[in-house]
Chain A
Amino acid sequence: MVASSFNWIADLGETVHDALVSLGAFTVFVGRLWYWLLVSVPRWDTLMPNLYQVGVRSLPVVALTGTFIGMVLSVQSYAQFRQLGLETRLGAVINLSLVRELGPVLAATMLAGRVGSAMAAELGTMRVTEQIDALSVMGVNPIKYLVVPRFLACFFMIPILTIMADFMGVCGGFFYSVIVLGIDKFHYLENSAVFVTGFDLISGIAKSVFFGGAIALVSCYQGFNSEGGAEGVGKAATSSFVYSFVGILILDLFLGIAIQNLQSFLYPGGTKLL
């Protein structure tokens, strides 16, 4: 009786303990990856397929979602801005939200769903079928051989995907606002040009690099540590997406705050939207 009423304390303790152990293991994993990133250059023939998978194969879906987000932004904000007679400001609103937030986050989300879970599943299968052990036994470091190229591929390709999402979003927003809703083209573009600065574009792309790195780390870690056959691999794939997505949003908040501070430090006057 006494024992059972204190069970939750034990459960809580166990949960905290497990979480700390996983955090420690993840930190060690990241540390080992850093080591291999610093001391070795991956061979082109292991890097290339990953760049292709992460970059080229993700472009269509990123382009498609980017276009639609651009149009949706236009649909959603038009009515409000029209009431104020400020519909040409849509150019600023849509494009600013795209390059600062939606482009990078969208590209990262797509990458986490398309590439992250696939990486976790692939590495997870390699783990449970002992292919990772087979690599180690041949004297090949699995972190160096499997994780480094995947990390680099995400790291280098996500800015390109972000630019694609930004670009297609801008096009989608322009198409819906100017062609469908008939907003004046000159002022739409004029407002975009005034309010969206190079800093906004660059800061969005800079953020995306962190997202890409986080996705690769989380997914590879999940794959590497999956156990228990097909079920474990499935779990690794799902949790890699969930953790990546949560990670993206948390990073986005903190990077957003940092970028905001940097911007008001660099451009104290700043431009005002309204």
Chain B
Amino acid sequence: MIDMVNTAEQPLIRVEKLTIRFGHQTVLKNIDLAVPDGQTLALIGESGCGKSVLIKTLVGLLEPVKGKVEFDGHDMHKLNEKELAGLRQRFGFVFQNAALFDSMTVGQNVAFPLEQLGDFSPSEVREQVLERLHEVGLPKNVVTKSPAELSGGMRKRVAVARALIVNPEVLLYDEPTTGLDPVMSDVINELIIRTRRRTPVTSIVVTHDMHTVRRVADRVVMLSPYARLAGGQPQILFDGTPEQLDQTTDRRVRQFVNGEAGERLLELAGDTSN
């Protein structure tokens, strides 16, 4: 099963021997990952393990010290500015902290990517904006508000609407449901599934929410923080379907999935006694 998801002929995104360092801190080391066209992949792992760093590297926001990221046959870190900008327009990216433009209204934020493409009339743009905001469960009157006037969960949903408006080929969601109430989480889960059904989109969903993993993902990849690995162990702890998550024997994966602190509590106790 794991093999089957891995060996699609020409993966849309291929990560090879990727190593990322900040100063002396190694965050990712020798990551290999191939995401075939049309897959919805959930990326899980404990806080600080480098999930956000990994998806930012996929769109060329961070430079690897070693290894490469290929998207549709192009090495993302060897392109010139113009080519990179062109490829990036095929991505939709939901930032962990929403990253809405706070000099613009919510409506202008959602419209922005569409206006950059430049082939829509103002009334078409307006219609699209309202439709996308409706999809993420936001009322019409938020259009004229500024991002600062919204709650954290509302901002997150505006960010999702902004990423979806150009119907990108690849969607990278960084914790789309974190900070949302259970109902709105499910609205977003449903939206991710519906988007997938409507267009052959490839998605990577970074999440801590096991419910989201089980609902939306075809495949789950779990990362470990590099610092916690004994020498030579691979950083990808798990790569398989959501069903296989429940059968895995790896203690670290089981603890994460079931939300048990396990030996971490002992480590913390050890730290405080020092």
Contact = CB atoms under 8 A, between A and B. Distances in A.
Interface of A: 122, 125-126, 129-131, 133-134, 136-141
B97 A137 contact: no
A141 B81 contact: yes
Contact of A138 (B56, B102, B103, B112): B112
B160 to A, nearest CB: 13
B89 to A, nearest CB: 4
Given A139-B86, A139-B89, A141-B81, A131 B102 contact: yes
Nearest to A36: B81
B99 A140 contact: no
Contacts of B227: none
Contact of A137 (B93, B102, B103): B93
A131 B93 contact: no
A129 B96 CA distance: 10
B256 interface: no
B98 to A, nearest CB: 9
Contacts of B99: 129-131, 133-134
Nearest to A135: B101
Which of B85, B86, B91 lies at the interface centre, i.e. has the most chain A CB atoms within 10 A of its CB?
A: B85
Interface of B: 56, 59, 61, 81, 85-89, 91, 93, 95, 97, 99-103, 112-113, 116
Given A131-B102, A133-B61, A139 B88 contact: yes
A138 B95 CA distance: 12
Given A137-B59, A137-B61, A139-B88, A131 B101 contact: yes
Nearest to B174: A130
Contact of A140 (B85, B93, B97, B100): B85
A130 B116 contact: no
A139 B116 contact: yes
Nearest to A45: B115
A140 B85 CA distance: 7
B97 A138 contact: no
A138 B116 CA distance: 8
A130 B102 CA distance: 11
Which of B87, B93, B99, B103 lies at the interface centre, i.e. has the most chain A CB atoms within 10 A of its CB?
A: B99
Contact of A133 (B56, B87, B103): B56
Given A129-B97, A131-B101, A133-B99, A140 B61 contact: no
Contacts of B116: 138-140
A134 B97 contact: no
A125 B99 CA distance: 11
A138 B101 contact: no
Contacts of A134: 93, 95, 99-101
Contacts of A140: 85, 116
Contacts of A141: 81, 85
A229 to B, nearest CB: 12
Question: Ordered nearest first, which 8 A-B pairs have the shortest CB separation?
Answer: A139-B89, A130-B99, A139-B85, A134-B99, A139-B88, A137-B93, A138-B113, A130-B95
Contacts of A126: 101
A140 B100 CA distance: 15
Given A131-B102, A141-B81, A136 B97 contact: no
B89 A138 contact: yes
A139 to B, nearest CB: 4
A136 B61 contact: yes
Nearest to B59: A137
Given A125-B102, A133-B61, 15 more contacts: A122-B103, A126-B101, A129-B97, A133-B56, A133-B95, A134-B100, A136-B61, A136-B85, A137-B93, A138-B89, A138-B112, A138-B116, A139-B87, A139-B116, A141-B85
B43 to A, nearest CB: 17
A121 to B, nearest CB: 12
A92 B81 CA distance: 54
Contacts of B87: 139
B129 to A, nearest CB: 15
Contacts of A125: 102
A163 B99 CA distance: 40
B51 to A, nearest CB: 15
Contacts of B56: 133
Contacts of A138: 88-89, 112-113, 116
15 contacts: A122-B103, A129-B102, A130-B99, A131-B99, A131-B101, A133-B56, A133-B99, A137-B61, A137-B91, A138-B88, A138-B116, A139-B85, A139-B88, A139-B89, A139-B116
